[in-house]
Structure 1
Amino acid sequence: MQIQTIGNATLYCGDALEILPTLTPMYDALVTDPPYSSGGLHASARTASPGAKYMGHQHYADFSGDNRDARSWAFWSVLWMNQASRLIKPGGYVMVFTDWRQLPATTDVFQAGGAIWRGIIPWDKTLSSRAPHTGYFRHQCEYVVWGSIGALGKCAHGGPFPGLMTQRVIPAQKLHLTGKPVPLMNMLTGPLANDAHVLDPFMGSASTAIPILKRGGSFTGIELSQEYFDIACARIEQALNENR
């Protein structure tokens, strides 16, 4: 396990299931984008590399944990959700990304893992999303299953917040195969206080960290891939330097 501290960010390179039990409950929110393990109907398709499944080509480094079948994915997800949810303060937010294939299972995992499910936020990637053949409706949305740990109080600085978020993906700005746009993460974390401490067990290239740290909050992230861990460290350092 490798640990790097950069400003108000503490980053771990290792397996979330091994690192989460070592952390102290103190976080205001869990915001994360775990591997979906979707993108294929059969074993041969599910076990293909993420680049081949989702992009049809390889421009980004692959990542682990995206080749489980439905039952093993749900079991694994309940394990990490249980560990992560115990770290969130009562009244803290929980936000977990998923796609249309795993949306039903994610809502089950969410509740089995100790969170109260309060809704779904569609993320509209706009018509610029990758097009299927002409007989299909576009899969232009991903989803955020959201809720809280226990009762959710009123927000002190705004709300209610939009239940649909529109943000196109700009490939030139992506640093991860499934990286989320920073403006999207800025909108999604709008309900959090400026000094919130956010936990992300699957931080990837640290898109969640950037708006949190720029507001003056704190971030704890975990990433299994050494390559993406290094990218996240460099990205956070650059963002903090720009903010000075």
Structure 2
Amino acid sequence: MPNNSIDAVITDPPYCSGGRSIGAKIQSTTNKYENYPQGRPDFLGDAKDGRSWLMWCNLWIAECFRTLKEGGYFLMFCDWRQLPTATDALQIGGISWRGVIVWNKGLGSRAPHKGYFRHQCEFILWGTKGPCNIQNNGPFPGCYEEHVRQKDKHHIAGKPTALMEELCKVIPYDGIILDPFAGSGTTCVAALKTGHQYIGIEKMPEYCEISNQRLRQITE
């Protein structure tokens, strides 16, 4: 991909935060992340330990940095367990870290045992390549509340389409949005619905087909 050609990266990489031992980490992602399996395909790349995950993030974030235009946005999902490491990875990759956006999933998220606080929020680290350019719209919310609905969830770790649409609205109209971990294509769907161009990269054929089906339904 050419240097300085992308307006924004909006992506949801594997968190690799499920399980502490190697035996727990190499379980299927269905077993790690779904209380009630829905038959969605498992996804790859979720068995790294913390140091390996940091190094791996450095590699792909550096490539995203290369392809981003000056002032381009970088938005990356993570959970509470990987939040400290993810902030390091973003900066090591060259991105100017500018804040953390909260995604409140609501009380329908997985409940821990009594005495615990619910892990009902995930996080979106955001930054830019160099300066953050002043826009005609914004400022944008620092917290979004979007519930996960099974009919809109096409991936084990899928995010709500409505949430991704709100994030895409930050990007100037017709800009190019890159998702290097496209999964079931929700970022691409949201980009298309909000009037943007998109590039989605996904290594699993099962999820590529799901993405193509979703995009075809919109274009038709």
Determine which of 161, 168, 171 is the counterpart of 1:189.
Answer: 168
Pair 1:62-2:42 in alignment: yes
Indicate conservation of the 8 Å contact 2:30/2:156, yes or no: yes
Q: Which is worse superposed, 181-190 or 112-121?
A: 181-190
How far the C-alpha of 1:211 sits from its partner, in A, is 2.3
Determine which of 67, 76, 84 is the counterpart of 2:64.
Answer: 84
How far the C-alpha of 1:215 sits from its partner, in A, is 2.7
Q: Which is worse superposed, 79-88 or 38-47?
A: 38-47
Indicate conservation of the 8 Å contact 2:10/2:187, yes or no: yes
Indicate conservation of the 8 Å contact 2:54/2:89, yes or no: yes
Where do 4+ consecutive residues of structure 1 move more than 2 Å? Answer: 56-59
Q: How many residues are aligned here?
A: 218
What secondary structure sits across from 2:201 in the alignment?
A: strand
CA RMSD for the aligned pairs?
1.0
Indicate conservation of the 8 Å contact 1:214/1:240, yes or no: no
CA deviations 1:176-204 (Å, max 9, x no partner) are: 10111010011122211121100100000
Name the counterpart of 1:238: 217
The structure whose RCO (Cα within 8 Å, separation 6+) is larger is 1
Gaps of 5+ in 2: none
Pair 1:171-2:130 in alignment: no
Determine which of 120, 123, 134 is the counterpart of 2:103.
Answer: 123
Q: In the aligned structure 2, how far is the partner of 1:99 from the partner of 1:73?
A: 13
Q: In the aligned structure 2, how far is the partner of 1:215 from the partner of 1:105?
A: 31
Q: In the aligned structure 2, how far is the partner of 1:106 from the partner of 1:161?
A: 22
TM-score after normalising by structure 1 = 0.87
Q: In the aligned structure 2, how far is the partner of 1:240 from the partner of 1:140?
A: 34
Indicate conservation of the 8 Å contact 2:169/2:194, yes or no: no
Indicate conservation of the 8 Å contact 1:91/1:149, yes or no: yes
TM-score after normalising by structure 2 = 0.96
Counterpart mapping for 1:1-244 below 5 A:
23-25=1-3, 26-59=5-38, 60-156=40-136, 158-241=137-220
Gaps of 5+ in 1: 1-22
Q: In the aligned structure 2, how far is the partner of 1:227 from the partner of 1:197?
A: 25
